[in-house]
Structure 1
Amino acid sequence: MTSRQLPHLSDQLFLTDAGFETWLLFQKGFNMPCFAAYPLAQLEEGRAAFKEYFSDIFDLARQNRVGVVLDTYTWRANPNWGQELGHDLDHLQQVNDQAVRDAKELRRTLGDGLNVIVNGIIGPRGDGYDPKSVMTVQEAQAYHGFQAGILACSGVDMISALTLTNVPEAIGIANAAAELGVPCVISFTLETDGRLPTGELIQDAIALVDEKATTKPAYFMINCAHPDHFSTMIPEGADWAQRIGGVRANASRMSHAELDCCETLDDGDPVELGAQYAKLRQLMPSMRVFGGCCGTDHRHLEQICAALAS
């Protein structure tokens, strides 16, 4: 096993997963209430699918000599979504702890010789597409501190909050992670106009989180948006773009509202997406972590690897 080094402390590129939930739903045919992956970990066929999915990612990483940011399956494993699914806090504690142990087991069995980072995933309290109500920073820190605390105690290398729609929730999560002494990554989702669902420009959101959080996040990411939605919002050489350390883009150009109603998978064009990642890296030279979101899978990751390598 190689020694582990976090993405923001390394010059290495890192592969992470791509469209995990859409792969499970559309390609494997699992029933996924609330778009939650974690209940499938209790099923033998679910665990087999998880291993199949991540085995291919480890193979890609080895072929391309990159590291792996290995996510836990806990995007929906927070109190509000757990309640929707009929799960109490005790059950959620077990789920989050088990997810970390499962990730460590995948690292042990599949990650020999690779730099594999176990990444504890936190999702938004509400809908990742529609911020109907925005918590205060204090409320967000208390709410997400429950899950962050379990992930930290279970031994994750870092925590990432994906598909965030607003700044106060991001600051609250960053503060919770800082209190626990765990590196934190904040990943915002963007609309087709390149802005957060609450209307802020990405550079303004990054600046506010950096200014208001007790400890700055290790870096920021963008996920669940197509490159066409935000690439024109990043001027070449922009200082603030140095804070973006990763992208997990959608394969689809659809808006969030359209994706919410979509009954078939829009998997876009893997070759085109790979070329767009290469252009994004020119705009964001600190971008070391690359994966995908809605509609992407291993085909897209393979093309992204090829484009970045060339």
Structure 2
Amino acid sequence: MSEHLLARSNGRPWLSDGGLETTLIFLEGFELPGFASFPLLQTAEGRAALQRYFREMLETARAHETGLVLGTATWRASRGWGPVLGLTDDEIDEANRRSVAFAESLRDEFPDVPSLIEGVLGPHGDAYAPDRVLTAQEARDYHRPQVEILAQAGADFIGAYTLSSTGEAIGIAEAAREVKMPVLLSFTVETDGRLISGTTLAEAITETDAATGSYPMWYGINCAHPDHFRDHLKGDWIGRIGSIRANASRRSHAELDEATELDAGDPQDLAQDYAQLLHMLPAVRVLGGCCGTDHRHIAAIGAACLE
């Protein structure tokens, strides 16, 4: 999959979207129980908001003559979140299918913009305050149903975001391998550049590669400001980082959880941070955003990194 993306992009990074859920909550005024965006696809108002959001991203990719990774709205669409959201396993499975079909409709709407559909996974619990840490086998069993549904529905690859433990990363990689799906594993770090467990990014990536035979096509960092991890990007392992989706805010996860207003930072400052990261991370293939970012940030990142 990484070679396929490179072949279609002439070696230039592709863009991805930004902070979908924070945009919907703070800028569009939606309530998202459990931070789940996929239920919006079942209402005309919600679907229209999602269309606006992703169309702006596709237009931005078009303007910068690059491709777009179209993520599905399924970060909270695993079966473990069903009871929290009042949904059955069958309803969760159908939500994943509906989300892939929605992404396909957007791709069809912009045939001149190269795009890949990313089947998005989130952690089994709260990434920033997990009630427990899954073993690799538990994570494999937990995530496999969603991986399988997304693959059957037509996603091009799996992208797992805000991972905070190597056990969960390994389990997701094994589930993807069994379904024969390429997979991106993206870790989130605290302000000290480490996972919540204290594990370093170097340790997390090295351990996951060792346990899976380097099955992930690449790794990512998301839901942290570049200031939180920039100084820790040293060593051969950084060649495995292919995706950056940073927060606009420099606040900690705990501070963001308590925030009642959106901290969108400065799009231009964030874009310059990305330009610096590109020089440090030669294997990066996808540039997007996370909490607090929207089309303004993605456009600025494109201008700073792709022109």
Identify the TM-score tier after normalising by the shorter chain: over 0.9
Residues 1:252 and 2:256 are matched in the alignment: no
User: What is the match of residue 98 of structure 1?
Assistant: 98
Residues 1:26 and 2:23 are matched in the alignment: no
User: What is the match of residue 169 of structure 1?
Assistant: 168
Give matches, 1:33-182, under 5 Å.
33-110=33-110, 112-182=111-181
Residues 1:185 and 2:179 are matched in the alignment: no
Gaps of 5+ in 1: none
User: What is the match of residue 299 of structure 1?
Assistant: 296
Compute the displacement of 1:200 (Å).
0.6
Gaps of 5+ in 2: none
Read off the aligned partner of 2:25 and give its amino acid letter.
Answer: L
Compute the displacement of 1:5 (Å).
2.9
Deviates more, 1:214-223 or 1:156-165: 214-223
* Residues 115-172 of structure 1: CA deviation (Å, up to 9, x unaligned): 2000000000000212230111111101100100100111111000000010000000
* Residues 30-65 of structure 1: CA deviation (Å, up to 9, x unaligned): 011111101111110000011111111111101101
Read off the aligned partner of 2:228 and give its amino acid letter.
Answer: H
CA contact (8 A) 2:8 2:114 kept: no
Residues 1:15 and 2:12 are matched in the alignment: no
Which stretches of structure 1, 4 residues or more, deviate above 6 A after TM superposition?
A: none
Size of the alignment, in residue pairs? 304
Compute the displacement of 1:6 (Å).
2.8
Give matches, 1:181-220, under 5 Å.
181-213=180-212, 216-220=215-219
SS of the equivalent of 2:219 reads: strand
CA contact (8 A) 1:186 1:221 kept: yes
* Residues 76-106 of structure 1: CA deviation (Å, up to 9, x unaligned): 0012222101001000111001111111111
Compute the displacement of 1:197 (Å).
1.0
CA contact (8 A) 2:12 2:306 kept: no
SS of the equivalent of 2:242 reads: strand
Deviates more, 1:247-256 or 1:207-216: 207-216
Read off the aligned partner of 1:99 and give its amino acid letter.
Answer: S
SS of the equivalent of 1:6 reads: helix
Measure, in 2, the Cα distance between the counterparts of 1:276 and 1:242: 19
User: What is the match of residue 266 of structure 1?
Assistant: 263
CA contact (8 A) 2:241 2:284 kept: yes
Measure, in 1, the Cα distance between the counterparts of 2:132 and 2:211: 20
CA contact (8 A) 2:71 2:118 kept: yes
1:214–1:239 Cα change, 3 Å: closer
Compute the displacement of 1:113 (Å).
2.0
Measure, in 1, the Cα distance between the counterparts of 2:236 and 2:227: 21
* Residues 253-280 of structure 1: CA deviation (Å, up to 9, x unaligned): 0100001111100000111000000000
Measure, in 1, the Cα distance between the counterparts of 2:182 and 2:79: 22
CA contact (8 A) 1:71 1:121 kept: yes
User: What is the match of residue 275 of structure 1?
Assistant: 272
Compute the displacement of 1:75 (Å).
0.2
Measure, in 2, the Cα distance between the counterparts of 1:124 and 1:6: 26
Deviates more, 1:23-32 or 1:76-85: 76-85
CA contact (8 A) 1:78 1:92 kept: yes
Compute the displacement of 1:214 (Å).
5.1
Measure, in 1, the Cα distance between the counterparts of 2:232 and 2:127: 21
Measure, in 1, the Cα distance between the counterparts of 2:144 and 2:252: 31
CA contact (8 A) 1:130 1:165 kept: no
TM-score for the superposition, normalised by structure 1 = 0.95
Measure, in 2, the Cα distance between the counterparts of 1:221 and 1:176: 18
Measure, in 2, the Cα distance between the counterparts of 1:223 and 1:9: 24
TM-score for the superposition, normalised by structure 2 = 0.96
